[in-house]
């Protein structure tokens, strides 16, 4: 019988081999992530499985899909998780190496209500984690994570007899077939497929070819868990710049890049220009609004303000709802509202029927982008981008801030901006017209520009985004002259991962 998890164990010690190590900070808002070794050990993962199995039994469920991403330690972690789930009396269906959306697909394909996908997504090597859900196509939110955390850390799990594990094949083939069935191209398109040596490399090139494109270059599509070039993260500039160079070198119509667990998609156009996912989302919303009048779209608070003002969307009766950043939040809100689609600036795209099943899937997003191009045969992706109203949106920038401090720091920043707005204040000479606090703080200015500061949901950092409707220089000024100096006054906030 496992003992109650501890948080004071060190690797290479006797106690580390006989006690579960589980740091409380690994339980995030909507998934779980730890640095494997110093923050969780294999016995800790087994305890997590016991806790998760206990929780899903409390929900009246038993059958659960498990899969793992391509990292040197993910298979071992999945096996430890499975041992805990079986000990809790669960019926475990192991689909093997998978992307996160393939695991979500398997919930439908294999009629399993619950899922536990072992993945650290795009996090650096050393990280591990689990994305979980018990109400397809949704994943856990804060309430479910809080309940799971309490069960695991208190050792309040309930072992049950009758647990089983079955290894099921064929899911990869059926998943690729369904993802590629979303599009049948009638025009030739040359595509760079970029995977950053992550898990998506085992799925994306084949799926894109089935959609009818010519994959002119498989960029970093060899599975390599050392990630020799960069982390598979199509929101980071290093991967986007490599995609842009490949487009120019190979004369491609676009590049499609996928993150480490395949649930996000990044895009570079035919001119080698990176297009942030919120702008791709706006293009898709314009295209889909013509086919589905009066549609509702959900977008996260990091996304461009153009969704709220776009004339094409208004002309087709579209309604846009801004909501909390995070794949679980946007997925849940998209389902709750019966929205046609949800878009997140990080590259998560959510499509409800008839386009998708409601979960975030990089391949379904790629299919939607290719279908949009197919419906506009005389226009390149760069043409569709230029047809958008002009807005200058920054990269997503993330200054370090410890997990145990980031929420408190964010609350103080929110209060600071609220007080400034209530006093009739302004930023760089522009009056504050709205302060949105659904997720951190988004400060909207009278000319439509805005700044955002929020705590990251899954890493020890804050998130900063700014957008100007004036110019790129003004966008940089909003960061360099407003946000960066304001945050610099907080000693808890460290260096940025990237800056503009």
Active site residues: 121
CA distance 358 to 335: 7
Alpha-carbon distance 264 to 313, whole Å? 24
C-alpha gyration radius of the chain:
22
- CB of 313 within 8 A of CB of 285? yes
Integer angstrom CA distances of residue 178 from 132, 211, 296, 351, 470: 22, 11, 24, 14, 43
Cα–Cα distance for residue pair 356/192, rounded to 1 Å: 23
Q: Which residues pair with 311 in a beta bridge?
A: none
Is residue 275 within 8 Å of residue 391, measured between CB atoms?
no
Question: d(Cα 461, Cα 445) in Å, to the nearest integer?
Answer: 25
For 25, 176, 274, 284, 346, the CA distances from 192, given in Å and listed in that order, are 38, 18, 13, 20, 20
Task: Please give the backbone phi and psi of residue 434, each rounded to the nearest 5 degrees, phi first.
Answer: -160, 140
| Closest of 154, 19, 39 to residue 404, by C-alpha | 39
What number of other Cβ atoms are within 10 A of residue 47's Cβ?
Answer: 29
Q: What is the DSSP letter of 326?
A: S
Q: Using CA of residue 238, residue 448, residue 319, residue 453, what is the dihedral sign?
A: positive
Range 368-384 burial, b when 16+ CB lie within 10 A, else e? bbbbbbbebeeebbbeb
Among 435, 431, 401, residue whose Cα is nearest residue 415: 435
Cβ neighbors of 353 (< 8 A, separation 6 or more) are none
ω into 354 cis (within 30 of 0): yes
């Amino acid at each position: 019988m496992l003992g109650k998890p501890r948080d004071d164990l060190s690797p290479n010690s006797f106690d580390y081999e006989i006690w579960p190590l589980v740091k409380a900070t690994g339980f995030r808002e909507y998934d779980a992530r730890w640095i494997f070794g110093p923050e969780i050990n294999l016995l800790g993962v087994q305890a997590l499985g016991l806790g998760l199995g206990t929780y899903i039994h409390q929900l009246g469920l038993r059958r659960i899909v498990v899969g793992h991403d391509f990292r040197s330690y993910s298979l071992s972690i999945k096996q430890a998780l499975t041992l805990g789930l079986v000990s809790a009396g669960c019926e475990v269906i192991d689909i093997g190496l998978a992307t996160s959306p393939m695991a979500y697909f398997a919930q439908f394909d294999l009629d399993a209500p619950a899922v536990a996908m072992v993945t650290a997504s795009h996090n650096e090597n050393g990280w591990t984690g689990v994305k979980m859900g018990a109400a397809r196509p949704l994943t856990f939110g804060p309430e479910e994570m809080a309940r799971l955390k309490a069960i695991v850390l208190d050792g309040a799990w309930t072992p049950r007899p009758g647990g089983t594990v079955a290894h099921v094949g064929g899911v990869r083939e059926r998943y690729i077939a369904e993802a590629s069935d979303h599009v049948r191209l009638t025009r030739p398109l040359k595509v760079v497929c970029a995977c950053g040596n992550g898990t998506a490399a085992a799925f994306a090139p084949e799926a894109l070819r089935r959609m009818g494109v010519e994959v002119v270059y498989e960029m970093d599509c060899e599975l390599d868990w050392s990630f020799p070039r960069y982390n598979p993260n199509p929101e980071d500039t290093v991967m986007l710049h490599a995609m842009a160079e490949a487009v120019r070198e190979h004369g491609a119509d676009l590049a499609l890049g996928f993150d480490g667990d395949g649930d996000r998609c990044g895009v570079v156009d035919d001119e080698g220009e990176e297009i942030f996912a919120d702008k791709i989302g706006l293009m898709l919303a314009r295209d889909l609004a013509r086919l589905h009048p009066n549609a509702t779209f959900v977008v996260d608070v990091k996304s461009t303000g153009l969704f709220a003002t776009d004339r094409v969307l208004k002309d087709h009766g579209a309604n846009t709802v801004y909501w909390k950043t995070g794949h679980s939040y946007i997925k849940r809100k998209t389902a709750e509202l019966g929205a046609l689609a949800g878009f997140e600036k990080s590259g998560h795209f959510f499509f409800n029927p008839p386009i998708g099943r409601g979960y975030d899937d990089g391949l379904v997003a790629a299919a939607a982008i290719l279908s949009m191009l197919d419906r506009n045969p005389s226009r390149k992706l760069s043409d569709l981008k230029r047809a958008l109203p002009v807005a200058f949106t920054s990269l997503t920038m993330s200054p370090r801030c410890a997990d145990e401090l980031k929420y408190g720091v964010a609350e103080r920043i929110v209060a600071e901006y609220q007080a400034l707005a209530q006093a009739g204040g302004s930023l760089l000479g522009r009056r504050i017209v709205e302060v949105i606090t659904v997720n951190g703080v988004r400060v909207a200015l009278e000319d439509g520009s805005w700044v955002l500061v929020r705590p990251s949901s899954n890493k020890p950092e804050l998130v900063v985004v700014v957008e100007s409707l004036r110019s790129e220089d003004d966008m940089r000024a909003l960061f360099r002259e407003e946000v960066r100096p304001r945050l610099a006054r907080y000693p808890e906030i460290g260096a940025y991962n990237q800056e503009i």
